[in-house]
Structure 1
Amino acid sequence: MTITDLDLSTHAPTPGDPTHPLSSLNAAEFTAVRDIITSSTSFTETTRFVYVGLEEPHKRDVLAWQAKTAPRPERRVRVMLLDMTTGHSTDNVVSLATGTIVSTAVLDGSTGQLPVLIAEFDAIADIVAEDPRWVAALEARGTSITEVVVVPLSAGYYDYPEEIGRRIVRVLAFRQGYPEDHPWAHPVDGLSAYVDTARRTITRLIDSAVLEIPAESGNFDDPAVQGAPLTTLKPIVITQPEGPSFTVDGEWVSWANWKFQVGFDTREGLVLRQLSFTDAGEERPIIYRASINEMLVPYGDPSPVRFWQNYFDTGEYLYGRFTNSLALGCDCVGEIKYFDAVLADELGNPFTIKNGICMHEEDVGTLWKHGDMFTGSNEVRRQRRLVISFFTTVGNYDYGFYWYLSLDGTIECEAKLTGVLFTSAYPGVASPTATDEPGTDYPYASEVAPGLGAPYHQHLFSARLDMMVDGISNAVDEVDAQRLPMGPGNEHGNAFTKKVTRLGSELESGRVADASVARAWHIVNTEKTNRLGRPTGYVLYPEAAPTLMADAGSSIATRAEFATKHLFVSQYDPAEQYAAGDFVHQNPGGDGVTKYIAGDRSIDGEDIVLWHTFGPTHFPRIEDWPVMPVDYARFTLKPYGFFGKNPAMNIPANEPTEHCSTGGAVHACAGDQ
């Protein structure tokens, strides 16, 4: 029996008939899901599609199908639905093979709410404008509902009685003098409204202080603000006369020795699946699935109108749907391959973000080099990497996520942060350490323009790394540099070594990066060895940046336990996808990684998932205003004993070319850059 026979005899053809069980949902499938849902008796005119995404099959079923020992897994889709007038929320699974809803779970709000709809955002301005308290508060600040824009924001969880079981957003206001005026420059501070989106009412109005609205323009797109253009920069031309080195078959990419699938999801955005490296003709797996599954932005201003500012941009807002349509020569340069992102809107209809994902090669300097003093040999090779990226705009901030695959087997993930700071009036509100005296600093924000504050905050990303280093039997060793005391065997005190600690179970895995001992985590295969008889593996190099700064007893620490450590490790479970849990909005805490590791399962020689937290702690600079130059956060995975030697030995030397020279002369490409 062929694999085609298995597919057709086991499951009926699905819309679009995707060739792989992990293929991203296509327009025909989204349409089929919409029709299945809207034909159900529980669907109403005010029901909206919050999330529609692939319900991925169990890893073992996919691997068995690829090994031609099992049929293709059934295509299933996860659908979250919200009735905007009642707040009725359901989490559903739809079978595309049978055209039926196979399961429905009703949410009562006790373990969180569905993500916030764009339609809910759009309704907020009218809701608050109908409340005379809001109108009066704006007038007291010298403005009105016709001059302000309102920003609905996720509410967090604070156990307020009137919010139990209700969908709440918290609202701040910004003055906008005219349509082209960027309102982030003019925060209307000391005022916040808490809104029930289903009942369309303000449940609480916080009016703590009347503060002056900052007046200076923040219009970064205004030539008057930009200043005279710099005229001394000459063009840089990036060309690949023979075209790119990669090949693309649908969502599958082959480049150098790499092979992987490019996927996309409304919640997570870019997803890379089944990354493998061909070594001596063998296609060796490294990562089964990699994504940024959560992004937390906790703010550190405890003022009465800002203490709740803690945004989960993935779980609460579904940042994949705000993906930018990229343009050649602007967001990406060189020989570019674009992938479109196909998603479902809030009515269930498919829509396409053209050029949502960018892929290209880039030269990144020297790969390896040596000039030998004894033999006279002088060899150098150029490093290049494949870049797969997307950009998403979530309110004021813009985030780019870049995955880099290098010729030597290195995998890197880099987040690029830019956009506009979330602002406040400065100094905000009085505090024990802040006075009204001129020049006194407010301890929780930077002044970035006259009277304009930018509260201190963090950006904490969670990378979900479903590892598969040479197979599914993996373990994690924590490796620290270790100083040794002078004494027998170390008489001169120069010795140091490494300390290796195997993480045996899930509860042992809450680990913090430590730059003082060069801490790294080695993911090793417990059944495979290299030519020296040692386990094959990859090493995760973290950035030793702070974890969550909020107090351990705070609401946000309970809701985002994943962000209190740099690393957690769990045993694979297809239902465990998100570091803060499935329903993050208004979740009281205890979900996500907290729940996943509670059973303390073995992670030694098992199918494991790494949850890695990384990201910057931001004390904004004046130079970050009115638009922020890109800041960076990253982590690196490198082969450690995975190969028998340097896997980039066979990279050919560059031939002399005019692109290697200056002044028009032709030189060999042997630079050390």
Structure 2
Amino acid sequence: MATETRSRVDHPLDPLTREEITAARELLEDARDVAPESRYVKIVLDEPAKDDLAAYEAEDESVDRRAFVIVRDREARTTYEAVVSLDGETVVSWEEVPGVQPSITLEEFDECERVVKANEEWREAAAKRGVEDFDLAIVDPWSAGHHLVPDDVDRERRLAHAMSWIRTSEEDNGYARPLDGIHAWVDLDEMTVVKVLDRGTKIDDVVNDLEDAPYRESERDLRTDLKPYNVDQPEGPSWEVDGRKIEWQKWHLRVGWTQREGLVLHDIGYEDDGEVRSVVNRASCVEMSVPYGDPDPNHNWKNAFDVGEYNIGRLANPLMEGCDCLGYMHYFDAVMNDASGEVNVVPNAVCVHEEDFGTLWKHTDWRTENTEVRRSRRLVVSFVATVGNYDYEFNWYFYQDGSMQPQVRLTGINSNGLVAPGEEQPPGYYEMMAPHVKGMVHQHFFNFRLDVDIDGRTNELYRRQNRPIPKGPNADITWNGVEDTGEVNPTGAAFYAEKVQLASEQEAQDLIDSRKGRYWQIENPERTNSLDRPVGYRLVPGENVESCAQLDSSVNERATFISKHLWATPYRPDERFPAGEYPNQHAGGAGLPEWTEADRSLDGEDIVLWYTLGVNHVDRPEDWPILPAHLASFKLEPVNFFDENPAMDVPPEHAIKDIHERRAAKYEDPDSVSRQRAEDD
């Protein structure tokens, strides 16, 4: 099932509707001199402050509905920010933001390809590589960065660094034949090519000397032994959806959307004894950094910020029933604007469905031969974005035991380059994926912003990790409050889970350490459970890697957030993105490194966690032509938040469906129902 794009607003956090986007643009153009060639980079909800939302929830106080607008004036080469009151029908503010470059728009993607393919220098370079039909070329405008822009290209211009490939037909895998060595820098304001650099050919005839890499259904011989797998929910799903609010298995959450982040989740709470207890106020993936490790000058400059430089929400896919999601689905459309300020809708951008997830809990009493087992079910809220060659699926899983798990699945086509015949392969900088086609070693870093409110805004942060005890006397160890001066650890096996408060921003900057079982715990000192323990949640790392970028590298200067896996800050409404509001072409230093210099207190504060999830990608031929989905995630789990396992009330399968009847239908044996029921009795 799919939703229609809703025109009504049920809550102050609901994204802008079609009508509101149009109204915001018209109000702005009526009040200000918006140049006709300007691009509307974004028209999004200006999210209300937390205090205003609290007043709305507690006292039903009205909240002014506002739009936040970013406009790029191409002729003046400057950027403007505006706030428009939709309720008051006025422009609240209109300010120039000089010296910044907003994210690249879809329209600039398309126009950039067109102007590069029409450029004579680019055509001459492509012809050297066997290209005759220039219409079959594809051009991807990569973000140019800052430090590695050529000296003869003005960094103050709005730039894209264009890379090219050539197809052999309209339906061909366009990324199978890279036109390696051709670089084009494009001024996106003027939409002109300002520099073409040809570093030389490695394959003289890319069109004929490289292999096809087909991946479409019509181009491959498919397996014939795969049987249908149906997810059947004849009574419908276990969730309830009201507008953009979801209730499922005691979880309460609200689905939001921005062009920059894509899926945003608000007001995440868990119902306990009739009270919806807050866990996370706002959660999303707020930035990405994808640095490449190959020193080849054709690729060593690559470090895309797919959220801040491209607006990953704007690149969302319409999701397909039976492929992206199985079972009973509910969809939310993404209502956004295009560069002209007109409404653009991505249908079915967010999918909500349930999944079976194996065993939730089980115990067999071997003395009484009694077995109790519960199946785990999880709610999935997801969206998928395609950024050029890569496809990213963002899943937010909610479990019946009170835990939640953000996950990224990476698939699509690896960015690639060429290797000349007889070229000696340096160790580890790249791996061969196909004849003459290399995949460069690279990393993906996803930064998640979690505005945690564990039973309220007064929170503390702790590091937890294993601490072994030396054998022999140890004056630092006490037992029941009495110093033990004897043999504390005679077996040599004693250890404990150390708990250290991270009371300031500098203390909170941390790296994972799986050898020590390190995780981080957020507690509310003002709320306790029945054991008189402060209620809390813990952030448990999953797969992760450390950044390989040197501290003085362009990568680290611009994406400093990848240097630590955990950052924490006190909540501030204007601190939203870890590399700053405008990372495109920025020299670096904005965002988390700038804010945390003050080393503000985190003791009893409204804490925001910033978790960096890293993926190491050493390519292999099995990643070609399409990368099998690579999964990376972390988890938020309750600690003393409840008095016992909150999933004890989950019913067994036989309590919610007639498993005997379903078994008989499966094996077409009606008599087995009565036989099995008799045995159970």
Question: What is the TM-score when the length of structure 1 is the normalising length?
Answer: 0.92
Show structure 1 runs of 5+ residues with no match. 1-14, 428-435
1:480 partner amino acid: Q
| Inter-partner Cα distance in structure 1 for 2:75 and 2:296 | 32
**Is residue 2:143 matched to residue 1:154?**
yes
Give the alignment partner of residue 135 of structure 1, picking from 112, 117, 123: 123
Give the alignment partner of residue 122 of structure 1, picking from 110, 126, 133: 110
SS of equivalent residue, structure 1 residue 342? strand
SS of equivalent residue, structure 2 residue 108? helix
**What's the CA shift for 1:99?**
1.7
Give the alignment partner of residue 26 of structure 1, picking from 17, 24, 48: 17
Question: CA 1:203/1:303 → structure 2, altered by over 3 Å: closer, same or farther?
Answer: farther
**Is residue 2:561 matched to residue 1:562?**
yes
**What's the CA shift for 1:107?**
2.6
| Inter-partner Cα distance in structure 1 for 2:8 and 2:241 | 19
| Inter-partner Cα distance in structure 1 for 2:314 and 2:425 | 42
**Is residue 2:447 matched to residue 1:462?**
yes
SS of equivalent residue, structure 1 residue 476? strand
Name the residue aligned to 2:262: 269
SS of equivalent residue, structure 2 residue 398? strand
Question: CA 1:626/1:130 → structure 2, altered by over 3 Å: closer, same or farther?
Answer: closer
What CA RMSD, in Å, does the superposition of the two structures yield over aligned residues? 2.1
Contact 2:378–2:399 (CA<8 Å) still a contact in 1? yes
Name the residue aligned to 2:35: 44
| Inter-partner Cα distance in structure 2 for 1:659 and 1:597 | 58
**What's the CA shift for 1:482?**
1.0
Give the alignment partner of residue 338 of structure 1, picking from 328, 331, 336: 331
**Is residue 2:229 matched to residue 1:217?**
no
Question: CA 1:650/1:346 → structure 2, altered by over 3 Å: closer, same or farther?
Answer: same
Question: CA 1:472/1:203 → structure 2, altered by over 3 Å: closer, same or farther?
Answer: same
Identity of aligned residues (%): 38
How many corresponding residue pairs?
642
Name the residue aligned to 1:6: none
**Is residue 2:188 matched to residue 1:189?**
no
**Is residue 2:79 matched to residue 1:89?**
yes
Contact 1:92–1:101 (CA<8 Å) still a contact in 2? yes
| Inter-partner Cα distance in structure 2 for 1:26 and 1:130 | 38
| Inter-partner Cα distance in structure 1 for 2:609 and 2:228 | 42
Show structure 2 runs of 5+ residues with no match. 1-5, 473-486
Name the residue aligned to 1:257: 250
Name the residue aligned to 2:620: 621
Give the alignment partner of residue 288 of structure 2, picking from 288, 295, 303: 295
SS of equivalent residue, structure 1 residue 163? coil
1:519 partner amino acid: R
**What's the CA shift for 1:75?**
1.5
Name the residue aligned to 1:379: 372
1:78 partner amino acid: F
Q: Which whole-Å deviations, capped at 9, do the CAs of 1:298-321 have from their partners, x for residues lacking one?
A: 112222222221111111110111
Give the alignment partner of residue 230 of structure 2, picking from 232, 237, 244: 237
1:622 partner amino acid: P
| Inter-partner Cα distance in structure 2 for 1:183 and 1:299 | 21
Contact 1:299–1:307 (CA<8 Å) still a contact in 2? yes
Residues 309-324 of structure 1 aligned to structure 2 (within 5 Å): 309-324=302-317
Question: CA 1:459/1:659 → structure 2, altered by over 3 Å: closer, same or farther?
Answer: farther
Question: CA 1:481/1:595 → structure 2, altered by over 3 Å: closer, same or farther?
Answer: same
Residues 489-500 of structure 1 aligned to structure 2 (within 5 Å): 489-500=488-499
Contact 1:62–1:72 (CA<8 Å) still a contact in 2? no
**Is residue 2:397 matched to residue 1:404?**
yes
SS of equivalent residue, structure 2 residue 526? strand
SS of equivalent residue, structure 2 residue 179? strand
Name the residue aligned to 2:600: 601
Contact 1:515–1:544 (CA<8 Å) still a contact in 2? no
SS of equivalent residue, structure 1 residue 598? helix
**What's the CA shift for 1:515?**
0.4
Q: Which whole-Å deviations, capped at 9, do the CAs of 1:613-638 have from their partners, x for residues lacking one?
A: 10311011101111111111101011
| Inter-partner Cα distance in structure 1 for 2:57 and 2:49 | 13
Name the residue aligned to 1:369: 362
Q: Which whole-Å deviations, capped at 9, do the CAs of 1:108-151 have from their partners, x for residues lacking one?
A: 22xx4111122222222343345443232223223254442222
**What's the CA shift for 1:664?**
5.1
Question: What is the TM-score when the length of structure 2 is the normalising length?
Answer: 0.90
Question: CA 1:67/1:41 → structure 2, altered by over 3 Å: closer, same or farther?
Answer: closer
1:175 partner amino acid: I
Q: Which whole-Å deviations, capped at 9, do the CAs of 1:60-107 have from their partners, x for residues lacking one?
A: 221122111x72221221111112344221122111122222222323
| Inter-partner Cα distance in structure 2 for 1:52 and 1:283 | 32
Deviates more, 1:639-648 or 1:481-490: 481-490
Contact 2:74–2:190 (CA<8 Å) still a contact in 1? no
| Inter-partner Cα distance in structure 1 for 2:115 and 2:229 | 51
| Inter-partner Cα distance in structure 2 for 1:568 and 1:444 | 30
Question: CA 1:152/1:45 → structure 2, altered by over 3 Å: closer, same or farther?
Answer: same
2:626 partner amino acid: V
Name the residue aligned to 1:5: none
**Is residue 2:160 matched to residue 1:169?**
yes
| Inter-partner Cα distance in structure 2 for 1:128 and 1:438 | 29
Name the residue aligned to 2:481: none
| Inter-partner Cα distance in structure 2 for 1:94 and 1:588 | 30
**What's the CA shift for 1:201?**
3.8
Contact 2:458–2:524 (CA<8 Å) still a contact in 1? yes
**What's the CA shift for 1:16?**
5.8
Contact 2:261–2:285 (CA<8 Å) still a contact in 1? yes
**What's the CA shift for 1:439?**
6.5
**What's the CA shift for 1:520?**
0.3
| Inter-partner Cα distance in structure 2 for 1:509 and 1:591 | 18
| Inter-partner Cα distance in structure 2 for 1:86 and 1:298 | 32
Q: Which whole-Å deviations, capped at 9, do the CAs of 1:303-345 have from their partners, x for residues lacking one?
A: 2222221111111110111211112112111011111111112
1:95 partner amino acid: S
**Is residue 2:470 matched to residue 1:471?**
no
| Inter-partner Cα distance in structure 2 for 1:35 and 1:84 | 19
Name the residue aligned to 1:431: none
Deviates more, 1:461-470 or 1:299-308: 299-308
Give the alignment partner of residue 406 of structure 2, picking from 403, 413, 417: 413
Give the alignment partner of residue 88 of structure 2, picking from 98, 108, 111: 98
2:601 partner amino acid: S
2:87 partner amino acid: A
Contact 1:57–1:574 (CA<8 Å) still a contact in 2? no
SS of equivalent residue, structure 1 residue 133? helix
1:217 partner amino acid: D
Question: CA 1:41/1:443 → structure 2, altered by over 3 Å: closer, same or farther?
Answer: same
**What's the CA shift for 1:466?**
0.5
Deviates more, 1:355-364 or 1:510-519: 355-364
2:141 partner amino acid: P
SS of equivalent residue, structure 2 residue 180? strand
Name the residue aligned to 2:434: 449
| Inter-partner Cα distance in structure 2 for 1:660 and 1:366 | 20
| Inter-partner Cα distance in structure 2 for 1:439 and 1:230 | 38
| Inter-partner Cα distance in structure 2 for 1:38 and 1:161 | 37
Question: CA 1:84/1:176 → structure 2, altered by over 3 Å: closer, same or farther?
Answer: farther
